[in-house]
Structure 1
Amino acid sequence: MGFKDRTRTAMVLAGCLAALATVPSAANATPGSGVSGTILAQGVSDGTLKLKAEGKTDVVVRTITIAPGGSTGWHSHAGQVLAVVKSGTLTRTLDDCSVEVTTAGKAFVEPSGPRHRHIGRNLGSEPLVLYVTYLLPKGSPLSQDADAPPCAGK
């Protein structure tokens, strides 16, 4: 390709790019109307959140309030659970008896299955409020009661 051909190609390309730059990026967008929303809870995770659901999935959003001194009892979930602590502090003891403390404004994912039993407690003096989204196999209960692990009796 000669100099004139390269120059002409560059000029055509520049013209096309300039034309594209003048097209509004939201040319096909339509404004919304009659819609409102309320943020129920907002939280920040300490790391990457990975959610996965296969097959037909029940998606349930629930508010849970745990009174001071209260607990969920040992349990597990058939699917993943995404939780945001709206207020208070959640103290979870996991299957290996490790303890995780999650304060207001934090979010976390609980894994699924009976190997991931846990108990949630409110060790504070104010009610603990959680906003929880369950991703469960269709027809599954929100949780299943579980025995405390052997290490919990120590």
Structure 2
Amino acid sequence: MNRKSAAATLAAGLCLATLPATANATPGRGVSAVTLFDHVVGGTEYVLREITLAPGGSTGWHYHPGEVTGFVKQGVLSHNDATCASDGTYHPGRLISENSGPGYVHIGRNLGTTPVVLDVFYRNPAGQPLAVDAPNPGCSFD
């Protein structure tokens, strides 16, 4: 049973290009991603991904080791920080920038009825995951 659970967690993490989730992590659900560009220059990896969150989908709680900027192509992205407060609602045509590091744990959710489609650009330390799963900080949602 433990092996099956660990394998499922690892598969979900790979879908989000993250490290395997910790025991208390909240993996994403309803998320798919396609890498459009991935290139390393010096010590920085530049990655462009199209990420889709299905209705009711969530990125799971996580943080990024590097800088992240996203563009909302479709749908409405609801974004919350580790205090459980909304730190933004992003409609088509809007940009979202996320701080880096374990001090900025956050979640993106699709509370609507249509898929959220994002183009996300990562400026990440080479060799690091694009995102690291984190436990729910105590919010009533995940």
Would you call these one fold, judging by a TM-score over 0.5?
Answer: yes
**1:63-89 residue CA offsets vs partner (Å, 9 max, x unmatched):** 000000010100000011000000100
Residues 2-13 of structure 1: matches in 2 within 5 Å? none
Shift of 1:98: 1.6
Question: Residue 153 and residue 125 in structure 1: after superposition, are their counterparts in 2 closer, same or farther (change >3 A)?
Answer: closer
Residue 90 in 1 paired to residue 71 in 2?
A: no
CA distance in 2, matches of 1:116, 1:136: 15
Q: Identify unmatched segments of 5+ residues in structure 1.
A: 1-54
CA RMSD of aligned residues (A): 1.4
Higher helix fraction: Structure 1 or Structure 2? 1
TM-score, scaled relative to structure 1: 0.62
Shift of 1:144: 0.4
Q: Which has the larger radius of gyration?
A: 1
> What SS is found at the alignment partner of 1:147?
coil
The equivalent position to 2:102 in structure 1, one of 114, 130, 135, is 114
Identity across aligned pairs (percent)? 47
The amino acid across from 1:110 in the alignment is E
> What SS is found at the alignment partner of 1:70?
strand
TM-score, scaled relative to structure 2: 0.67
> What SS is found at the alignment partner of 2:103?
helix
**1:8-67 residue CA offsets vs partner (Å, 9 max, x unmatched):** xxxxxxxxxxxxxxxxxxxxxxxxxxxxxxxxxxxxxxxxxxxxxxx7110100000000
- The corresponding residue for 1:59 is 46
Moved over 3 A (4+): none
CA distance in 2, matches of 1:103, 1:148: 25
CA distance in 2, matches of 1:108, 1:71: 16
CA distance in 1, matches of 2:140, 2:114: 27
CA distance in 2, matches of 1:153, 1:91: 15
